[in-house]
Amino acid sequence: MPDPTSSSDPAVTVAVAQIRQVEQGQARSPVVHTIFDEATFTASHIVYDPVTREAAIIDSVLDYEASSGRTSHASARKIVDYVHSERLTVQWQLETHAHADHLSAAPWLQQQLAGKLAIGAEITRVQNVFGKIFNAGTEFARDGSQFDHLFRDGDRFSVGGIEAIALHVPGHTPADMAFIIGDAAFIGDTLFMPDYGTARADFPGGDARQLFRSIRRLMELPDATRVFLCHDYKAPGRDHFAWETTIGAERTGNIHVHDGVSEDEFVAMRTARDATLSLPNLIMPSVQVNIRGGHMPEPESNGTRYIKIPIDTL
Ligand SMILES: [Fe+2]
């Protein structure tokens, strides 16, 4: 039997050891409370150390009405209410990636609750790609400076007294990160529920082959690892939303990428499927806001902020 904690991948080896510590009762498991936004099919997670009551908020949602350009905070308010009711202190506002289907509420949540805003360091690549597409001026910095912290692969951090590690899992976008906090893995848009499959890889900077390799890295984590998704869209035969599974369930049952599916098979499937998908309804506002750390573009001379739509480009 190979040693289950050894991997040729140093960051994965650290993550496996961290999860085993929880499994063996030597470290605490975080509490996870999820708020699901049915308008954008997004699962926002509040993760906390039950002893210190320090928390991270992962992938929050700002309500946005596309027809009017109006923003509101009903979804984010649920996070604030939960944090207050549980008497939590927020340390982190984490983004698994620059989302293309919803706007981040992180700046508003920072005002209400504090917490350092963090994303993957490769966000600079996403800022460069979309900075060009949206013809953003030089006032739009492409160095990630809109965020308080940029994570690289293998970076360690903590939520209260619980150890955590960031893994770079590109493919859906170049900057996707998975945050492994104790025995809970927040994997963003890589895997979805086993009956739904995987995230698309056709946005600018996406890559199906990279996505497969990122998923296989995640599948090196112990089978019992708790896995929390960023989205769920139900699935044929399932009439409720779900956002929690395990690495074991993904390895045995994921319809796109269970054990035994080869990289070439996955890439062929993913590429064919992506060709049938339309762009998300909110991609234009989402990308412009999220590459700015959830801030709206600067106001024009009349004091109003605008979202642009490039014609015949995306
Ligand atoms: Fe996404």
Q: What is the pLDDT of residues 44-85, one digit of tens each?
A: 999 999 999 999 999 999 999 999 999 999 999 999 999 999
Q: How many domains does the chain have?
A: 1
End-to-end Cα spacing for the chain = 49
Assigned domain for 52 exists: yes
Assigned domain for 39 exists: yes
Task: Write out pLDDT tens, residues 93-112.
Answer: 999 999 999 999 999 999 99
Q: State in Å: Cα 302 to ligand 1 middle.
A: 33
Q: State in Å: Cα 98 to ligand 1 middle.
A: 7
Q: State in Å: Cα 303 to ligand 1 middle.
A: 31
Assigned domain for 296 exists: no
User: Residue 249 is part of a domain; what is its CATH number?
Assistant: 3.60.15.10
Q: State in Å: Cα 59 to ligand 1 middle.
A: 10
Q: State in Å: Cα 101 to ligand 1 middle.
A: 7
Q: State in Å: Cα 280 to ligand 1 middle.
A: 10
Task: Write out pLDDT tens, residues 238-289.
Answer: 999 999 999 999 999 999 999 999 999 999 999 999 999 999 999 999 999 9
Assigned domain for 304 exists: no
| pLDDT confidence band for 5 (50 / 70 / 90) | low
Specify the pLDDT at position 123. 98
- Average pLDDT rounded to a whole number, residues 184-201: 98
Assigned domain for 54 exists: yes
Task: Write out pLDDT tens, residues 209-248.
Answer: 999 999 999 999 999 999 999 999 999 999 999 999 999 9
- Average pLDDT rounded to a whole number, residues 301-307: 97
Q: For residue 9, what are the contacts with CB-CB under 8 A and spacing of at least 6?
A: 217, 220
Q: State in Å: Cα 42 to ligand 1 middle.
A: 9
Assigned domain for 310 exists: no
Specify the pLDDT at position 180. 98
Q: State in Å: Cα 99 to ligand 1 middle.
A: 4
Task: Write out pLDDT tens, residues 156-192.
Answer: 999 999 999 999 999 999 999 999 999 999 999 999 9
Q: State in Å: Cα 51 to ligand 1 middle.
A: 32
Assigned domain for 206 exists: yes
Q: HSE on the CB side for 42, CA within 13 Å?
A: 26
Q: State in Å: Cα 300 to ligand 1 middle.
A: 29
Give yes or no for residue 124 having a pLDDT over 70. Answer: yes
Domain that holds residue 35: 10-289
Q: State in Å: Cα 190 to ligand 1 middle.
A: 9
Protein residues near ligand 1, an ion, with CB under 5 A:
99, 189
Specify the pLDDT at position 7. 81
Q: State in Å: Cα 172 to ligand 1 middle.
A: 7
Give yes or no for residue 1 having a pLDDT over 50. Answer: no
Name the residue among 31, 33, 52, 53 with its Cα closest to residue 43. Answer: 33
Specify the pLDDT at position 313. 92
Residue 10's CB is within 10 A of a number of other CB atoms, namely 10
Tokens encoding 23: 């499994």
Residue 33's CB is within 10 A of a number of other CB atoms, namely 16
What 8-state DSSP symbol labels residue 120? E
Specify the pLDDT at position 90. 98
Assigned domain for 1 exists: no
Which helix (H) or strand (E) segment is 82 a member of? helix 74-85
